[in-house]
Amino acid sequence: MRTVLSITRYDLMRLFKDRNLAVFTLIMPVVIMSVLSLAIGGNNQTILLDVVDDDHSALSKAFVEQLKDVGGDSLVVCVYGKENPDDCGLPKEDGWSDVGKKRVEEGDTSGALIIPAGFGDALQQGESVAVEYRSNDSLNAPGVVTNMINTARNRVGSSVVVAQLVYDPELATLTGTTGTTESFTALYAQAEQQWQNPPARIEEESSGKETEVGTGANQSVPGIASMFLLFTLLNAASVLVGERSSGTLQRLFTLPVPKYQVVMGKMLTQMVYAGIQFIILFIIGGFLGAEFGSNYLAIALLVIAFLLCGGALGFLLATFVKNENQAGAIASLAGFVLAPLGGAWWPLNIVPDFMRILGHLSPIAWVMDGFQDLIYYNGTVLDILPEVGVLLAMTAVFGVIGVARFRYE
């Protein structure tokens, strides 16, 4: 064992002196993680909707309030001429004619809803009235906003219809009761109140735990870190083939130690370097906003299992190539295929079922599943044991085949 550690220590010293390797294994993943965390930073799902109320009636105000209620936390309604939340970026003094069209075109808002003058009177008299909705077709949000607008419209329209059925000015005149706008408004308010306690309700119940979709740093940091760790581990193939071609391995084999210990030392070098690489990326990822949880034992077990699996795969790869250039090319190809396939670039939650199944042929899919348990569900060691078990099983398969095929000469 002392021989293995001596070889590992010497090779690590050589690796840390290689500046080009540091750029590829440390600086490049940090840059990619940062860019992706910004590009897929979908943690904030709030949608902005500008509203121009040219009617200023009770019903137009009720329509706006219904929009806010339907949208909940996912929709911020920005009303021209009113005090708005800071998220709107729309001061009270700004008018639609001054900034509205520009806000829509530049994507500062998902769209603008224009309520025309006479909106309230038309509804009260049972007439049809159109509201105008302008959006930027290049955005994805307008479809969602349109559904919210339709829901709010149906809600207001239903209450108006109920109030119209009860409110009849001609009948009120004959009976001597009040047939004023105030009475219609009161009837509308009563109808609206019934929505607070509808006779039929939908009770939601999930069939299982909620699935979180990775976004921002919580997706990019573990994904890119796993990808570059795999590159480092697959590089073991280039190291073994290159040193065998140059005669370095043969010279080490002349030492009075078992040959397998020399190979173990070379493999351990790549795994230790990859482990150090992960620690550095883990720390930097924390500054980018990634949250791995506080169960460091679970994180360590998951990463160690991945290092063993990647190392065994790199060792197996060395048995299929003839020279260093070939090993480097195949290792790079394998890394760039296994990384997106396993969900390093995007979460597997968003791909079709068959791609999700195919993706789990990659070790990265299992380590990403483990990270998802830790990041989103506050997982423990027990929660990530299935992923660790699969990675160790892959390690055994790759290792057995690699040992059977490996030739020292």
Q: Per-residue pLDDT tens for 356-384?
A: 888 888 899 898 888 888 887 778 888 88
What is the pLDDT at residue 171?
52
Higher confidence at residue 193 or residue 274?
Answer: 274
Structural contact between residues 59 and 124, judged by C-beta atoms closer than 8 angstroms: yes
Structural contact between residues 28 and 228, judged by C-beta atoms closer than 8 angstroms: yes
What is the pLDDT at residue 195?
56
How does the average pLDDT of the chain come out, rounded?
76
What is the pLDDT at residue 389?
93
**Backbone φ and ψ of 53, nearest 5°:** -100, 95
Residues 108-140 have pLDDT tens digits of: 888 888 888 888 788 777 777 788 888 765 545
Structural contact between residues 334 and 317, judged by C-beta atoms closer than 8 angstroms: yes
What is the pLDDT at residue 304?
92
Domains and CATH numbers, the chain: 2-41+215-405 (no CATH), 47-194 (3.40.1710)
**Bridge pairing between strands 47-53 and 111-115:** parallel
Model confidence at 45, pLDDT cuts 50, 70, 90, reads: low
pLDDT at 294 over 60: yes
What is the pLDDT at residue 397?
92
What is the pLDDT at residue 324?
76
Q: What is the mean pLDDT of residues 65-82?
A: 82
What pTM was computed for the model? 0.61
End-to-end distance of the chain based on CA atoms, in angstroms?
22
Residues 132-152 have pLDDT tens digits of: 888 765 545 566 677 777 777
What angle do the packed helices 296-318 and 259-288 form, to 10 degrees?
Answer: 130
Pick from 102, 108, 39, 53: which is nearest to 76 by CA?
108
What is the pLDDT at residue 391?
93
What is the pLDDT at residue 175?
42
Structural contact between residues 228 and 273, judged by C-beta atoms closer than 8 angstroms: no
What is the pLDDT at residue 388?
92
Model confidence at 259, pLDDT cuts 50, 70, 90, reads: confident
Q: Out of 175-184, 310-319, 359-368, which region has the weakest mean confidence (pLDDT)? A: 175-184
DSSP symbol at 213: P
pLDDT at 165 over 80: no
Model confidence at 177, pLDDT cuts 50, 70, 90, reads: very low
What is the pLDDT at residue 176?
46
Q: What is the mean pLDDT of residues 245-252?
A: 68
What is the pLDDT at residue 163?
63
Structural contact between residues 261 and 249, judged by C-beta atoms closer than 8 angstroms: no
Strands (E), 73-141: 75-79, 111-115, 132-135
Q: What is the mean pLDDT of residues 148-166?
A: 68
Please list the alpha-helical segments (H only) found in 195-295. Answer: 216-246, 248-253, 259-288
Q: Out of 76-85, 109-118, 138-147, 287-296, which region has the weakest mean confidence (pLDDT)? A: 138-147
Q: Which of 35-44, 178-187, 269-278: highest mean pLDDT?
A: 269-278
